[in-house]
A and B are shown apart, each in its own frame.
Chain A
Amino acid sequence: MDISFALTGKGYVLVAADTTAARSIIKMKSDEDKIKVLSPHLLMAFSGEPGDTVNFAEYVERNLRLYHIRHTYPLRPASAASWIRRSLAESLRSRSPYSVNLLLGGYDTATHTPELYWVDYLGTMTSVPFGAHGYGSYFALSLLDRYHDPEAGLEEGLAALRRCIDEVSKRLVVSPGKYKVKVVDKDGVREIEL
C-alpha cells in the first residue's frame, strides 16, 4: 500500500511519496518515482491500484502538456486540479473506473500562492493545508494537526515531514523504507534529499 504526504508552507508546497513498488507481499522495486511533474509549477503524487496509477498519471501529464503547447501558457493549479477531478469523477461512473488517489501541489504564478489539493478516486476534491493518502494518513494527519504551520520556512516544513515519516517507520507494520520528496515554489519544481 502506497503512502503519500503533502504540506504547504510560506511560498512552497512539499510533496512526499514512498518509492516501493510491490506485488502482493513482495517488493519488486525500491526506487519508483510516484510524483509526476505536470507543469513548471505543478506536482502530482499518485497512489492506488497498480497499473491504473501510472496510466492515469501519464494521461493527465500529456493532456496538460498539450494545453501548454496549444495556448503557450500552462493551466493554473486550480484549473488543472478541477480538470483532473472531473476526469476521475467521469471515470467513476464509467465501465472501468480508475482507482487513483492524488495529492496535487502547485504554485500559482499569477497570485503568488502555494496551493494543495487532496483528491481521491471518487473525484472528491478539497483544498487543504496538508494532506495524506494510504495507511500513513492515520499518523500524518494527527501529527500535522499539531505541528503544521502554513507560515513555516522550508527547513521547518521538512522537519514536520520528517516527523511523519519517522512515525510511520516506527508504528506501521508494513512501513516502506525510502521516500522521494519534491518541492514546488516560485522557482518551479525540484527534488530534495531528506
Chain B
Amino acid sequence: MEAISHAGTVLGVLAKDGVVLAAEKKVTGKLLDMSGSKEGGYGGSGEKIFLLNSNVISGVAGLTADANSLVNYSRQTAQGHLFNYNDDIPVELLVQRLCDLKQGYTQYGGLRPFGVSILYAGYDPHYQFQLYHSDPSGNYSGWKATCIGANNGTAQSLLKQEYKDDIGIDEAVGLVLRTMSKTMDSTTLGSEKLEFATLTLDADKRPKAKIYKPAEIDALLVKHDLAKKDEDAEMRAA
C-alpha cells in the first residue's frame, strides 16, 4: 500500500466508444536505454502499461517486479481462456482470476501480498467497454473514471468535476491528458514521463488496443496544446 501511494499515477477514463489509460513514468533519465520502446514492439516502455490480451490493456502502480509477475499470469489466463473456449476472455472474468490470485496471498501467513494496484481497460460483447480497478487485497470494482498511485486524490476530484456520462473517445483523451498534466509533479508533459494507451473498436467491430510510442505521445500532446514549450522562444516573442 505504501509503495502504491508513491508510485507513478495511472489514470483511466471510460468513454462510450472506447477506454483511455495514461500513466506517469518514474524511472527516467538521460542514461536510461529507451531504444527498445522506440523500435518495434506494440508501444510503451514496459514500465507501466501492458497489453494483457487483444481485448484488455492494463496500467499498474506499485512494485514493478510484482506487477511483471501478475501481467504474465493474466496473459496466460487470457490465452488459456482462448484455448478452451475459442473466444476472448470476458474482461470481468480476467479481473476476477487475477484478484483470486491476489486474495490468496492475504489469507495465509508467511507470504507477503502482491504490492500492486491495477487499472484494466477492456472490451467484451457482454458489457462492451469497461474500466476496472483492483488493489493488493484482491478487491475489485468497475469505474467510469478513476486513478491510482501518487496524487490519486487530486486526480479523482478533478475527474469527478469534469466527467460527463456521454463522453466520446476524443474528449476522453483530452480529459485524461489535462488531468494528468495537473497531477504530475513536473511542470511539463513529455513522452519521457508519460505512457498512453487507448482501446477502441476497429472497422470489423473487433477490439483494437493501441499503446502509443514516444513520438506518437509527443504528437498527441502538441495536438492538445500541452506539449513542452521552448521557454527561450517564448521569452523572445514576448
Tell me the residues in window 62-114 of chain A with beta carbons closer than 8 Å to chain B beta carbons: 71, 73, 75-76, 78-80, 82-83, 86, 110
Tell me the residues in window 126-147 of chain B with beta carbons closer than 8 Å to chain A beta carbons: 126
Tell me if A82 and B93 are in contact (CB < 8 A): no
Which chain B residue shows the least CB distance to A86?
B84
In the assembled complex, B86 has its CB within 8 A of some CB on chain A:
yes
Bitwise interface map of A from 116 to 150 toward B, beta carbon under 8 Å scored 1, else 0: 00000000000000000000000000000000000
Tell me if B125 and A82 are in contact (CB < 8 A): no
Q: Interface majority SS on A: helix, strand, loop or mixed?
A: helix
Which chain A residue shows the least CB distance to B125?
A110
In the assembled complex, B87 has its CB within 8 A of some CB on chain A:
yes
Which chain A residue shows the least CB distance to B88?
A79
Tell me if A75 and B93 are in contact (CB < 8 A): no
Q: How large is the interface on A (under 10, 10 to 19, 20 to 34, 35 or more residues)?
A: 10 to 19
In the assembled complex, B85 has its CB within 8 A of some CB on chain A:
yes
Tell me the residues in window 78-92 of chain B with beta carbons closer than 8 Å to chain A beta carbons: 84-87, 90, 92
Instruction: Decide yes or no: A83 and B126 within 8 Å by CB, A71-B90, A71-B93 being known contacts.
Output: no
Give the residue among B85, B87, B93 with the most A Cβ atoms within 10 A.
B85
Among candidates B85, B90, B92, residue contacting A82 with C-beta atoms closer than 8 Å = B85
Min CB distance, A13 to chain B, in Å? 19
Min CB distance, A69 to chain B, in Å? 13
Min CB distance, A135 to chain B, in Å? 31
Q: Provide the bound-state CA to CA distance between A71 and B89, in Å.
A: 12
What chain B residues lie within 8 Å of A79 (beta carbons)? 85-87
Min CB distance, B79 to chain A, in Å? 14
Among candidates A71, A73, A82, residue contacting B86 with C-beta atoms closer than 8 Å = A82
What chain A residues lie within 8 Å of B126 (beta carbons)? 73, 110
Tell me if B93 and A83 are in contact (CB < 8 A): no
Tell me if B84 and A83 are in contact (CB < 8 A): yes
What chain B residues lie within 8 Å of A83 (beta carbons)? 84-85
Which chain A residue shows the least CB distance to B83?
A86
Q: Provide the bound-state CA to CA distance between A7 and B84, in Å.
A: 26
Min CB distance, A75 to chain B, in Å? 7
What chain A residues lie within 8 Å of B93 (beta carbons)? 71
Tell me if B125 and A78 are in contact (CB < 8 A): no
What chain B residues lie within 8 Å of A75 (beta carbons)? 85
Tell me if B90 and A78 are in contact (CB < 8 A): no
Tell me the residues in window 13-64 of chain B with beta carbons closer than 8 Å to chain A beta carbons: none
Q: Which 3 A-B pairs have the closest CB atoms?
A: A82-B86, A79-B85, A79-B87
* Interface positions of B (Cβ within 8 A of A): 84-87, 90, 92-93, 125-126
* Interface positions of A (Cβ within 8 A of B): 71, 73, 75-76, 78-80, 82-83, 86, 110
Give me 16 other A-B pairs in contact (C-beta within 8 A), A78-B87, A83-B84 excluded.
Answer: A71-B92, A71-B93, A75-B85, A76-B87, A76-B125, A78-B86, A79-B86, A79-B87, A80-B85, A82-B84, A82-B85, A82-B86, A82-B87, A83-B85, A86-B84, A110-B126
8 A–B pairs (Cβ distance < 8 Å), ordered by A = A71-B92, A71-B93, A76-B87, A76-B125, A78-B86, A79-B86, A86-B84, A110-B125
